[in-house]
Every structure is written in C-alpha cells, then in structure tokens.
C-alpha cells in the first residue's frame, strides 16, 4: 500500500519541482545574460593636508559633512607670519626713503655734469676766438671728469637700496603665500569621510587633516578575458545592480580598457579564475543621490 501511494503522488510532486527548477533556472539565466562581472565601487578620494606647520585653530567639518570646492575647512595659526609681514613692510618703507635720497643724488650729479659740459663747450668756443685761456678749458674739463665720477658713485649707491627693495618685496610675497597657506581649502566638492586632527593640536607641514571623497561619480572595475573585449568599446553604456540597492538599476559608461593583460586579482574567489589572464575595465557611474557607497559590491551587465 505504501508503494502504491508513492506511485500515485510521485508524478505530481516531480512535476511541481521540475516547474520550480525551470523557473529558477530561467531567472538565473536572465541574470547571467550579458554579465561582465562583479566589483566594488570606488570614488575619488583626496587627503587634505596642511601646507603650513602650526597650531590648528579651527576645524568644523566632521565625517559625513558635505563640502564645496574652495570652501574653508581649517585654519592654522599664522600670527607670527602676520607680525613678520608688518616688520617687512616697515623695512620696505625705510628702504624706499633711502632710494629716494639716492635718486636725488643721482639727479643732482647728472644736472651738474650737464651744466659743466655746456660750460666746457662754451669755453672751448671762446678759446678758438682767443677770448678764453687754455687754463679755463683744462679746469672745466677736470670739473666734468669729477662730475662724471660723482654720477657713477651715486649710481652705485643707488644699487644697494634697490637690491634690498627687491629682496623685501619678494619676502612679502613669500609671507603672503605662507599666510594664505594657513587657510586650508577644499580642493574638490564632496563629502568628508575621515577626520584626523582636532582643534588645538599642532599640525606639521604635509600632515593630513581630512579625507574627502567625491561621491557624485563612482567608479567600478571588472576584469574580462580577451574573448569579451570585442563586445566593449570606450563610451559604451552598461547597467549595474548594486547590493545596497538591489531593486534599482544604475547606468554606467566604459571610460577605460586596460591595454595590458594581467592575472586576475587575488580577491577573486576560485583559484582557477585567479590563474586566468584578464583585462581591467573601468566604468564610471553617476551617483547624484548618494545611494552608492565606497566598497559596495555590484554586478555589471551589457
């Protein structure tokens, strides 16, 4: 009786199971159709570092805060630089006064030289008419030579203050740059994903303060065998399904195809797959609403 009962109900159960398996297989087949592979999302990340050493006076941004390109992120103490700049300005004013005095000497020497040359020319003309003596000509010639020497000396005196003026003006530009570097600005528009210091701490030049990521445009890499490269080209549109939003489909664009083959990265699961030579393909995916996150897995489809 038990055997007969099994024969009676057996075919019905087998048909139901077969139908379920058929539907499952069909669904899986559709998912795999056009599949390029899987990867994890990445974003452009920037470590915002201090260009100036000093005490961190201000740092208001924390993880998750949005930032805009050019926005003030942090302020480093630059009081000593400001005072040093004021001192350099005073020194520059003193040097400019020296330049004015030296310039007046040069002008006076040039005027004296011009006047004595005119006198010398007149005396030489009078000498040809026998209305002047050779002694007068010699005296004026000596005076002209002395005037020329005084002018050269005045010009040399002018060089010293002029060099100091250029030096101080260069120093002021350098101080202005250092003072500007005390203001740490955001290089990109994005979101703070890391904060390494707190106000009051001393920061070294080149030390990272914040990490910012541009989450508006994500990237994902998949690795394809040479046999699939023929179906891809730069600028081609692809679709993606992310684990963090399985109900949505995202659009992407192929922006880079590696010209060089490499072994599949070690994070691929099977040893057989890791032994294959593949080509890296980079895809950019717009993320205007911020649904996609760094490190989120996704599948890529044609």
Residue ranges per structural domain of the chain: 37-77+184-302, 79-181
Tell me the pLDDT of the chain averaged across its residues.
Answer: 85
Q: Which CATH class is domain 79-181?
A: mainly alpha
Give CA separation, 198 vs 55, 68, 119, 202, 210, in Å: 10, 21, 78, 9, 10
Hey, how many other C-beta atoms are within 10 angstroms of the C-beta on 189? 15
More confident residue, 65 or 14: 65
Pick the CATH number of 37-77+184-302 from 3.10.20.440, 2.40.30.170, 3.90.1300.10, 3.30.1540.10: 2.40.30.170
* pLDDT (average), residues 209-219: 96
pLDDT of residue 33: 57
Q: Give the model's confidence band at 13: pLDDT under 50 very low, under 70 low, under 90 confident, else very high.
A: very low
Q: Residue 20 above 60 pLDDT?
A: no
Q: Residue 15 above 50 pLDDT?
A: no
Do 37-77+184-302 and 79-181 have matching folds? no
What is the percent of the chain with per-residue pLDDT over 70, rounded to a whole number?
85
Could you tell me if 203 and 56 are in contact, meaning their C-beta atoms sit under 8 angstroms apart? yes
For the ranges 4-18, 58-72, 261-275, the lowest mean pLDDT is seen at 4-18
For the ranges 50-54, 106-110, 261-265, 276-280, the lowest mean pLDDT is seen at 261-265
pLDDT of residue 227: 84
Closest CA to 179 of 113, 297, 84, 286: 84
* pLDDT (average), residues 115-124: 86
Structure tokens at 90: 């005073």
Strands 190-195 and 208-224 turn out to be: antiparallel
């Amino acid at each position: 009786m038990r055997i007969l009962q099994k024969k009676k109900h057996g075919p019905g159960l087998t048909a139901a199971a077969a139908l379920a398996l058929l539907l499952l297989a069909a669904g899986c087949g559709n998912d795999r159709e056009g599949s390029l592979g899987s990867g994890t999302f990445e974003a452009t990340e920037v470590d915002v570092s201090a260009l100036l050493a000093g005490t961190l006076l201000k740092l208001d941004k924390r993880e998750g805060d949005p930032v805009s390109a050019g926005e003030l992120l942090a302020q480093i103490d630059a009081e000593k630089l400001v005072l040093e700049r004021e001192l350099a300005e005073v020194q520059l004013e003193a040097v400019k006064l020296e330049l004015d005095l030296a310039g007046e000497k040069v002008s006076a020497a040039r005027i004296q030289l011009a006047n004595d040359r005119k006198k010398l020319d007149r005396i030489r003309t009078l000498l040809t008419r026998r209305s002047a003596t050779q002694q007068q000509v010699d005296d004026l010639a000596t005076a002209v030579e002395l005037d020329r020497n005084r002018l050269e000396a005045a010009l040399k005196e002018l060089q010293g203050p002029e060099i100091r003026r250029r030096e101080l003006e260069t120093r002021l530009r350098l101080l202005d740059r250092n003072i500007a570097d005390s203001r740490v600005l955001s290089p990109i528009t994005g979101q703070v994903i890391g904060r390494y210091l707190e106000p009051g701490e001393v920061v070294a030049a080149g030390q990272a303060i914040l990490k910012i990521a541009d989450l508006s445009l994500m990237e994902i890499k998949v690795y394809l065998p040479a046999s699939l490269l023929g179906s891809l080209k730069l600028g081609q549109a692809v679709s993606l399904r992310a684990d963090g939003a399985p109900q949505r489909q995202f659009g992407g664009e192929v922006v880079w195809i590696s010209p060089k083959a490499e072994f599949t990265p070690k994070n691929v699961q099977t040893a057989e797959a890791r032994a294959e030579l593949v080509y890296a393909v980079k895809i950019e995916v717009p993320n205007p609403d911020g649904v996609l996150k760094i490190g989120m897995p996704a599948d890529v489809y044609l």
